[in-house]
Amino acid sequence: MTAPMDETAQPLPATRRALFRRIAVAQTEGRAPSLVGAVVRDGRLWWVGTRGELGRGAPDANTQYRIGSLTKTFVAVLVMRLRDEGLLYLGDPLSRHLDVPEAGDATIAQLLSHTSGLAAEARGPWWERTSGELRPETADIFGERPLRHPAGRRHHYSNPGFALLGALVERLRGAPWDEVLRREVLEPLGMARTSALPQPPHAEGWAVHPWADVLLPEPAVDTGRMAPAGQLWSTATDLARYAAFLMDGDERVLDPRTLAEMRAPAAAPESDDWDAGYGLGIQLTRRDNRLLIGHTGSMPGFLAALWASPEDGLAGIALANATSGPTVGAVAADLVRIAAEHEPLMPAPWRPLPEADLELVALTGPWYWGPTPFLLQLRPERGLELRPLNGRGRGSRFRAEPDGTWTGLDGYYAGETLRVVRGAGGGPYGGADNVHLDLGTFVFTREPYEADGAVPGGVDPQGWRPGA
C-alpha cells in the first residue's frame, strides 16, 4: 500500500478526543479493570488509547491480552494456506485427512464456516477454565452427542470444530499448530508479541462482581487440544498489523484473493439478524451502513474485538481484561465509525493505467443483454468490470485468465466465465466482425437485439417497430 498522506499521519485533536471518550465510556460503564483501543488506518497503527490500571501501571499498545476466538481467524489462515498449496480442498470431508468419526461427513469448508453441525462446546467441564490435560486426544473433546445438526444445514458455532482444524494443520504440517502459526504467519507479519501462552508484560484476567465493585482472578490455563478455538494472546500493536493483513493481504502469507474469499459470506446467520454472518473463519457484521470483517473473542477474564472496513481502509481494536462488562465489539466498530466520520478517507489520485491492450480498450463501452444496457470498463491487469447502466441487472468484476477468458469475482457471476467471441472476420475486439460477449451462456451484443447478432433464438427479421 502506498504511504499515507501527511495530513493523515496522526488523528486531529477532535478525532483523538472522540476516540478516547469512546473507550473511556466503555471502561467506566463496563467496569473493566483496563481497556485498550486502537485504530488502524492506511495499513498502520494510527491511534492508541488506554484506560484503567493493571496494578503496576497503565497498559500500553504492547501489553498482551488474551484474544479468545480471534484465534480462529489465524487457524483459518493456516487452513487456507494449505488449500492454496493444493494439500487439501475445501470440499474434502475431514475424514480424508483425519480419523475423527465424531465429525461425520463434515467438510473443511463447513468447519471453517460453522456449518458442520458439531456441538458448540467440548466434553466435560467448562473447557475455557480447565486444563487441556482433561482432553489429551482429539477424540476426547467430544461428548456423547457430537453432532447436533445435519452437516451443511445451518450455522451453529462450534469451538470443537476449530479444534479439529488445528489438528488438521498439525497433521499436514507435521508440527504443533502454534509453531506453524509462528513460522508461517506471525513472523512474516512482524507479530512478535502474539503467542499461545502469555508473555510479560501481560494483563491479568478478572471477573467483576455483578453488584459490587470487587474483583475475582480468573484462571489462564493451557487448553491443549481446544487451544485453536481461543488460546492466543496478543497486543494492540500486533493486532494492528494483523488487521492490515486482513484488509489488504500479504503475498508472504496469503494471496489477497484468498482473503477476499474468506471474507465472503459462507453461512446464513443463526438468528433473524441478517446484519451478521460468517465467512471462512471470519465474522461479518453490518454497522452504520458499512460492512465490517473480523472477529470477537472472549475467555475467562478477557474480551477482545477486531473489526475492519476494507472499503474505508480502517480497523478498530478493543481489548479488556474482564470476563464480561464492556461491549468491546461495539467499541471496535465505533472506533471505525468515529475515524471515518471525523476524517473521511481521501480518494486515491486518478492515474492512467500503466499499460493497456488497445484491443481491450476497443472492447469497452456499452453492451446489451437483450434490451438491457450494460457498461464494460477496463481495469488494471487486464481486468474487466460489467455493470448495468440503468440500475437493473447483474454486474460483476472479472479477473483475466491466461487462456484469454475472464472469471467473475463477485455477485451472480462469481466463478462464471466471460468470453469474447469473434465473428468470421477474426478482426480485433470491437471491429466489424460481429463480436459478442458470452457470459455463462448469456449473450451481450453491441446493439439491443442487433439483427445480425448471435442472439439465441434469433431476432425477428422486421426488427424494432412502433406500437400497434
What confidence tens digit (pLDDT) does each residue in 319-343 have? 999 999 999 999 999 999 999 999 9
Amino acid 467: pLDDT: 83
Euclidean distance between CA atoms 19 and 266, whole angstroms: 33
Amino acid 424: pLDDT: 58
Residue 165 CB-density burial (10 A; 0-12 exposed, 13-18 middle, 19+ buried): buried
Amino acid 180: pLDDT: 97
| Nearest Cα residue to 443 out of 358, 371, 389 | 371
Domain ranges for the chain, please list them: 8-342, 358-444
CA neighbours closer than 13 Å in the CB half-sphere of residue 130? 12
Q: What is the DSSP letter of 301?
A: T
Amino acid 433: pLDDT: 59
**Going by DSSP bridges, is the β-strand pair 233-234/215-217 parallel, antiparallel, or unpaired?**
unpaired
Amino acid 6: pLDDT: 38
Residue 21 CB partners (closer than 8 Å, separation 6+): none
| DSSP bridge partners of 34 | 52
- The answer to whether the predicted template modeling score (pTM) of the entire model surpasses 0.85 is yes
Amino acid 295: pLDDT: 97
Amino acid 429: pLDDT: 46
In the structure grid, which three cell numbers stand for residue 441, read together? Answer: 451462456
Preceding omega of 456 cis (within 30 degrees of 0):
no
Euclidean distance between CA atoms 278 and 283, whole angstroms: 5
Asked if 226 contacts 160 with a C-beta cutoff of 8 angstroms, the reply is yes
Question: CATH code for 8-342?
Answer: 3.40.710.10
How long a stretch of residues is the chain?
Answer: 468
Euclidean distance between CA atoms 341 and 11, whole angstroms: 12
Block residue for cell numbers 457471476: 413
Q: Residue 133: left if φ>0, alpha if ψ -120 to 50, beta else—which one?
A: alpha
- Over the chain (468 residues), the average pLDDT of each successive run of 10 is 47 97 97 98 96 91 97 98 96 92 89 89 82 79 81 87 95 97 98 97 95 94 91 98 96 93 82 79 93 96 97 96 95 97 91 89 94 94 93 89 94 93 58 78 91 84 84
Residue 429 CB partners (closer than 8 Å, separation 6+): 359, 360, 362, 363, 420, 422, 435
Distance spanning both ends of the chain, measured CA to CA: 59
Can you say whether the dihedral through the CA atoms of 178, 305, 279, 342 is positive or negative?
A: negative
Asked if 362 contacts 428 with a C-beta cutoff of 8 angstroms, the reply is yes
Q: Residue 68: left if φ>0, alpha if ψ -120 to 50, beta else—which one?
A: left
Residue 402 CB partners (closer than 8 Å, separation 6+): none
Q: Which amino acid is at 172?
A: L
**Going by DSSP bridges, is the β-strand pair 302-309/406-408 parallel, antiparallel, or unpaired?**
unpaired
Q: What is the DSSP letter of 322?
A: -
Amino acid 275: pLDDT: 79
Where would I find the beta strands (DSSP E) of 248-395?
A: 276-278, 283-287, 290-299, 302-309, 314-320, 365-369, 372-379, 383-388
